Amino acid sequence: MDCLFCKIAANEIPSKKIYEDEMILAYHDIAPQSDVHALVIPKEHIASSANDINSSNSSVIAYIFEKIPEIAKILGVDSYRIINNCGEKAGQTVKHLHFHILSGDNLGERLV
SS3 of 23, please? coil
98 is catalytic: yes
Catalytic choice (37, 96, 98, 100): 98
Indicate which residues carry an active-site annotation.
Answer: 98
